[in-house]
Amino acid sequence: MRLAGKHALITGASQGIGRATALALAREGADIAINHYPDPDGAHRRNAEAVAAEVHALGRRSLVLGADVAQEKPSADMVAQAIREFGALDILVNNAGILRDATLRNLTRQQWDDVLDVNLGSMFNCAKPASSHMRERETGSIVNIASVIGLTGNFGQTNYAAAKAGAIGFTKSLAREMARYGVRVNAVAPGFMDTDMTRTIDPEIKENIRKQIPLGHFGTAEDIAAAILFLVSDDARYITGEVLSVNGGWYM
């Protein structure tokens, strides 16, 4: 197993790419802390508990940690709890993300702030305490989920594109800071994937997008999880500051 004895924290892990990543890392031997948004009706927690049960069925330890990662203190408390429960934190996957699409003319400041706070601010909130812990141990791996939209831009997504482009710059800068301590920092930039987030796109628009993908189909959450698994494993021990694009050739 490539991750035997490792401990990982994955934000936004109650569904989609986060869930797929939790299971992929658990199959390779990692214990998993599953973060979810603490929604009032408890739907995200129930989903996270279901993921935790799947992790447990694979023979690994799991934690369910509710925290709004757009907020600094809850994020720091969550990282501290994962370290306390597991004894160490070897892997952080900053996956939490939301969409609030609108053209700039119609975009509200709240929609702008929400997307920047969750998609980019959460990376600061979680990576700061996690990287401090990893620096002290002189080992660790952080993977930030960017997007092809951060590389290309997209109509009606100035907020999302700004956040994901920021994630790429954040990744490269933190990689330079942490390399001397043996901590690697990379990013995965998914293309248009078949996830809950993209299922809200108008079917006609989705079909037009699909036709532009050289491989001819949308990717899956498992495709992204496989890329993350590679980057956090020793197979990628000499890779840091990189952005691994997983988009079926849509952007080269």
Taking only the tens of pLDDT, the chain with its 252 residues reads 999 999 999 999 999 999 999 999 999 999 999 999 999 899 999 999 999 999 999 999 999 999 999 999 999 999 999 999 999 999 999 999 999 999 999 999 999 999 999 999 999 999 999 999 999 999 999 999 999 999 999 999 999 999 999 999 999 999 999 999 999 999 999 999 987 767 777 888 889 989 999 999 999 999 999 999 999 999 999 999 999 999 999 999
- Within a domain: 73: yes
Instruction: Indicate the residue type of 171.
Output: T
pLDDT value for 203: 86
Considering its fold, how many domains does the chain have in total? 1
- Within a domain: 102: yes
Of 37, 160, 181, 251, the active-site residue reads 160
- Which domain does 104 fall in, by range? 7-244
- Within a domain: 249: no
Task: Please classify residue 224 by burial: count the beta carbons closer than 10 Å to its beta carbon, then call 0-12 exposed, 13-18 middle and 19+ buried.
Answer: buried
Residue 1: count other Cβ atoms within 10 Å of its Cβ: 12
- Within a domain: 251: no
251 given a catalytic annotation: no
Q: Is 144 in contact with 167 (CB distance < 8 Å)? A: yes
Return the C-alpha torsion angle 205, 222, 96, 39, nearest 10.
Answer: 90
Q: Is 8 in contact with 232 (CB distance < 8 Å)? A: yes
41 contact partners, CB below 8 Å, separation of at least 6: none
- Within a domain: 107: yes
- Within a domain: 1: no
pLDDT value for 60: 98
- Within a domain: 81: yes
Q: Is 36 in contact with 14 (CB distance < 8 Å)? A: yes
- Within a domain: 98: yes
Can you give the CATH number for the domain in which 200 is found?
Answer: 3.40.50.720
